[in-house]
Structure 1
């Protein structure tokens, strides 16, 4: 007799897309290369950075775009939960309420305990999916790094430290960010 799939997420556990979809809705997991990537609940600083960036970006976006924190993005076989995502409302397809299946204009990740996922696995997968703008906020290093695709891979375009006040290009708009204020 085959046991039913466990509903408790286990880091690195291999599972089918159907098993992934059967997990409880409040489970914070991503589906990368057919395996679960489990993230702990973000801390206060992490959430503050996410909200501050989302509000700042939202204030400069044209009416054609929206910013949203922690919404699933499913490019192909994987599913990610970017900390901040900017997308063109015209590319959000019917049925995209659960997850976005187009290509966002920007994804921002705030580094925490899963640094390798954000800096290596996701970076490669995001470039493969054609994401044009990727930013990483690193509270530990006190930096905000912007990336652009060069020959199919991300290359840093700028590294902004704690003392920087930067105008950041997200392709469709420019947002001013005081890195010290952002990092708290």
Structure 2
């Protein structure tokens, strides 16, 4: 079914319409970006550990009006992404149905793994275009957590926290204290 160049970590499929994408079997592990099907393998244990631990930390400080979700589809326009973690307004979730989130999350987090270029370049530009106010990237290889904010329509790093950092991070609806070494495991 998937055609095109296949790297060990990512398959880029043919151009498909949104209607064709919706006809795929239930729960494909794929994103729909610029009219292409982007298929990635299951994340590593470290990747999932980081997303889960960060989710638990954020959930402990998030207001009752917001929900922390892991690996749920976000469709801000013509594209559909699967951020590793999002903080979403519960009322917007209820209004949009359960298949995918169509509002704008307060925060999206990507844990870098196999498809680093998409998270650092392609998704970053698309997320800024969609007006996502807070974007964080956890890079297990560099052992950093970088926070971004939109400046003149593009993301600019607001801070880079290394393995030794314990930082209070603004997620828009709350502030969470993160020990980067503990988060990285």
**TM-score normalised per structure 2:** 0.93
2-side partners of 1:118 and 1:173: how far apart? Answer: 24
Q: Is it true that 1:111 corresponds to 2:112 in the alignment?
A: yes
Structure 1, unaligned runs of 5 or more: 1-5
| Count of aligned positions | 178
Paired residues for 1:1-184 under 5 Å: 6=1, 10-184=11-185
| Aligned CA-pair RMSD | 1.2
- Superposition deviation, residue 94 in structure 1: 3.3
- Superposition deviation, residue 13 in structure 1: 1.8
- Superposition deviation, residue 31 in structure 1: 0.2
1-side partners of 2:110 and 2:78: how far apart? Answer: 20
Structure 2, unaligned runs of 5 or more: 4-10
Following TM superposition, where does structure 1 have runs of at least 4 consecutive aligned residues deviating by more than 6 angstroms? none
Structure 2 residue aligned with 1:3:
none
Q: For 2:95, what is the secondary structure of its paired residue?
A: coil
- Superposition deviation, residue 51 in structure 1: 0.4
2-side partners of 1:125 and 1:93: how far apart? Answer: 24
Checking the alignment, whether the CA contact within 8 Å between 2:170 and 2:176 is kept in structure 1 is yes
